[in-house]
Structure 1
Amino acid sequence: MPSSLNLDSYKQAIADSYDRRSSTYDEGEWRKLICEHLLSYSQVHKRQAVLDIGTGTGYLAIAVAKKVGSQGSVVGVDLSSKMLNQARSKVKEIKLSNIQFQLADAEKLDYQDACFDYVLCANTFPWISDKETTLKSWYRFLKPGGRIAVHTPADTAYVGSVVLRRVLATHNIELEPSNRLGSIEQCKELFATAGFRNIEIKQEQHGRYISFESASAYWKSIVEAPTALSLKISDDISQCSPTQLAEIKSEFEAALVTQQTEEGIWDNLTTLYVLGQKPDVNQPSSYKDESQ
């Protein structure tokens, strides 16, 4: 098990970000809700071997370990060593013996073929750079008939990001080139291309009204702060003069103002849960859409 990873600047920024948040990460209820919904949709059961991608502090992995029982097993992987330290402390405290955590890049995993019954991925898939290639590798790790369950925000989620992306595009600056899957149809196509069948898209709306200040904070977190997302646009942004940046920021804030209501700005938090299966030679494949 490696004690460190050789990461590019984008992945290192992600790891650093989660390292900084590791001690308070479990205070947020939103990420736990995502894990609970994903687990419910996945229908993991006893004696299964499960791979949890982007396990973080182990919230989902621990819930899965309890579900698969002593004859099942869970491997949780993550880029952040400090998040994994939190996860290991939890497991030690509750004395679970069917779970292990590994420091690893989800895009460079090297497990044997057909060694897992289930691959789960909550709160992580948007960070994957090469989604098609990575899905194909996860597909390879699954046993015939094995299943996958992945959470991702819809491309309409997080109003500050959506509006900023649209404004930046008018200046030929691309935001989040790899983070969003796009439409539900594009999402289905991606998983089908990776080889998955019996694809289902579960859709939930967790939207809420937020303040103008909360929505406009995306400018600082994406354009000004040294985060993983800002690294993806840093080259283009660096070519902008202070005057140009001020103009873009003004356009962004003006666009948000047009969405202001008495209740606030609607933050569309449409969330997708993508379920798929590796075909079993003894089972006919089908292609489902159960969006709801």
Structure 2
Amino acid sequence: MNNYSIPNHYKQQIADYFNRRTNYDQEGDFHPIVAHHLIQCADIQPGQHILDIATGTGLVAIESAQIVGNSGSVVGVDLSEGMLRRSHSKIAHAGLTNIELKQGDIEIIEFPANSFDRIFCCCGIPYIPNIPTNLRRWHNFLKPGGIIAITGVAETAYILGNILIKIAKNYGLQLQNWNEATATPEKCKHLLQTADFEQIKVTNEQFGDYLSLESAQNLWELILNNPLTQMNFVQHLNSEQLKSAKFQYLAELETLVTKQGIWNDITIFYIVGSKPIGR
């Protein structure tokens, strides 16, 4: 594993957060299914070279490596050492030798132009700053005719985050939707268009379910521990304001309860585009 310094406090928070979440690939089927479906969108072929951004525990990297075979290769990049440690273990268990893992900041780390046939970013976009700028960098890493495949989250998704946005306004905070960049199919398409990708396709899949009131109430601490919430919400409030915000959160949940529970939409977008040949 190549060590790489994390340049600022926010990115250190991201790394620490995911260092504590190294078992996320065992928390139900959501992450494995999303990774598998994203791979299917990109039509990987044997012998190709793959870059997996925010590789995490290697869900995309490992399945991709199995498809490209020993004549191909996969590079996985992530900020979190803990995630990569888990990925190393899984790679060794699978007996794969065609995956290289790099601990690094995808905003800074460099690869030669026209290096990869496919670039993936699965469930990582909300945590990456300057998304349009980074997409243009990734465009440069792709070979002409290469494909980028990323996931996005709809603006309607994750009801708890949307409640927090509503509460933040009571404190004069304009808390941006975590899913703003990929909020709608139109925004997903525009995101890739501005980075000079073409033949863009956006499909979606619903993973939503009903939450019990108790389980939704218990998610308050999880929400606050998310580094995006820490940076944009928690750090701007004192302890009394946070107690009041929790009270408002619990009250808002009460208004959403139905006979089935509280509906939590999880609409995932699969966003795929290609680098024009000749660029």
What TM-score do you get using the length of structure 2 for normalisation?
A: 0.91
User: Percent identity between the aligned chains?
Assistant: 36
Report the equivalent of 2:196. 195
Which residue, 250, 261, 264 being the options, matches 2:261?
A: 264
The CA deviation at 1:177 is 5.8
Q: Is the 8 Å Cα contact of residues 53 and 76 (structure 1) preserved in structure 2? A: yes
The CA deviation at 1:174 is 3.0
Aligned counterparts of 2:82 and 2:153: Cα–Cα separation in 1: 25
Q: What are the superposed Cα offsets for residues 4-37 of structure 1, whole Å, 9 maximum, x if unpaired?
A: 4233111111111111222x23312211111011
Aligned counterparts of 2:79 and 2:58: Cα–Cα separation in 1: 13
Match status 1:248 vs 2:245 = yes
Report the equivalent of 2:11. 11
Aligned counterparts of 2:278 and 2:187: Cα–Cα separation in 1: 26
Report the equivalent of 1:214. 215
Amino acid at match of 1:48: Q
Amino acid at match of 1:106: I
The CA deviation at 1:274 is 0.5
Secondary structure of 1:21 counterpart: coil
Alignment RMSD, CA only?
Answer: 2.0
Report the equivalent of 2:163. 163
The CA deviation at 1:170 is 4.1
Aligned counterparts of 1:184 and 1:213: Cα–Cα separation in 2: 33
Match status 1:57 vs 2:54 = no
Amino acid at match of 2:211: I
What TM-score do you get using the length of structure 1 for normalisation?
A: 0.88
Match status 1:278 vs 2:278 = no
- Tell me which moved more, 88-97 or 127-136: 88-97
Aligned counterparts of 2:266 and 2:101: Cα–Cα separation in 1: 30
Q: Unpaired segments of 5 or more residues in structure 1? A: 283-292
Report the equivalent of 1:128. 128
Secondary structure of 1:146 counterpart: strand
The CA deviation at 1:56 is 1.1
Classify 1:217/1:230 alpha carbon distance in 2 versus 1 (closer, same or farther; 3 Å): farther
Report the equivalent of 1:173. 173
Q: Which residues of 2 match residues 131-142 of structure 1 at below 5 A?
A: 131-142=131-142
The CA deviation at 1:196 is 0.8
Q: Unpaired segments of 5 or more residues in structure 2? A: none
Q: Is the 8 Å Cα contact of residues 50 and 75 (structure 1) preserved in structure 2? A: yes
The CA deviation at 1:234 is 3.4
- Tell me which moved more, 252-261 or 138-147: 252-261
The CA deviation at 1:3 is 2.0
Q: What are the superposed Cα offsets for residues 182-212 of structure 1, whole Å, 9 maximum, x if unpaired?
A: 2221221111101111111111111110012
Aligned counterparts of 1:106 and 1:47: Cα–Cα separation in 2: 24
Aligned counterparts of 1:217 and 1:105: Cα–Cα separation in 2: 32
Secondary structure of 2:237 counterpart: helix
* Paired residue total: 277
Aligned counterparts of 2:227 and 2:127: Cα–Cα separation in 1: 12
- Tell me which moved more, 26-35 or 247-256: 247-256
Report the equivalent of 1:183. 184
Secondary structure of 1:204 counterpart: strand
The CA deviation at 1:178 is 5.6
Q: Is the 8 Å Cα contact of residues 135 and 192 (structure 2) preserved in structure 1? A: yes
Secondary structure of 1:3 counterpart: coil
Amino acid at match of 2:264: D
Q: What are the superposed Cα offsets for residues 43-81 of structure 1, whole Å, 9 maximum, x if unpaired?
A: 111111110011111121010001111211100111111
Q: Is the 8 Å Cα contact of residues 107 and 134 (structure 2) preserved in structure 1? A: yes
